[in-house]
Amino acid sequence: MRIGALDVGDRRIGVAVSDELGLTAQGLSVVRRTNLEADMRALRECFEPYTPTTIVVGLPRNMNGSEGPQAGKVRRFATDLEQSLGLPLVFWDERLSTVAAERVLIEGNVRRAKRKHVIDKVAAVVILQGYLDSLGTTLGPPHPK
């Protein structure tokens, strides 16, 4: 049983997947957004070899916990994604996930030019790892939306 994760942005989508035990998250790729149909096709292709049972979607919240315009965009995209993939979705608070991803890359001595190409994938890993850690050591039912 694997779980997939997405860090959805306006220009790119970071993609990650868990190991089969649901303990660790690994980055898969970054999908450059073009149009909805192409985005969905690219995401299906990314996840196909892993057959995840659930997709965790990072939900951008303001620091006070409220949802702003970007959260609305992500929710609309997630509705289309759920129909396209036919998998249940779970929203996960992604506040500061990009900051954490940037920190990981800097600590790993990844150059600035390279960081911008992988930051979204690493942010998806941060989102998924947070979700996996909340489940404990075994995969359980998805959290409610």
- Tally the domains of the chain: 1
Question: Would you say residue 145 lies in a domain?
Answer: no
Q: How far apart are CA 121 and CA 22, in angstroms?
A: 18
The chain-wide mean pLDDT, for the chain, equals: 86
The CATH number assigned to the domain holding 65 equals 3.30.420.140
Nearest to 93 by CA among 47, 119, 56, 125: 56
Q: Which structure tokens are listed for 79?
A: 């509705």
Q: What is the pLDDT of residue 141?
A: 53
Asked whether residue 79 is assigned to any structural domain, the reply reads yes
From CA 139, how far away is CA 36, in angstroms rounded? 30
Predicted local distance difference test score (pLDDT) of residue 105 = 65
Q: Which residues of the chain have pLDDT under 50?
A: 145
- 139 and 17 Cβ atoms separated by less than 8 Å: no
Q: Domain containing 70: what range?
A: 3-135
pLDDT at 143: 53
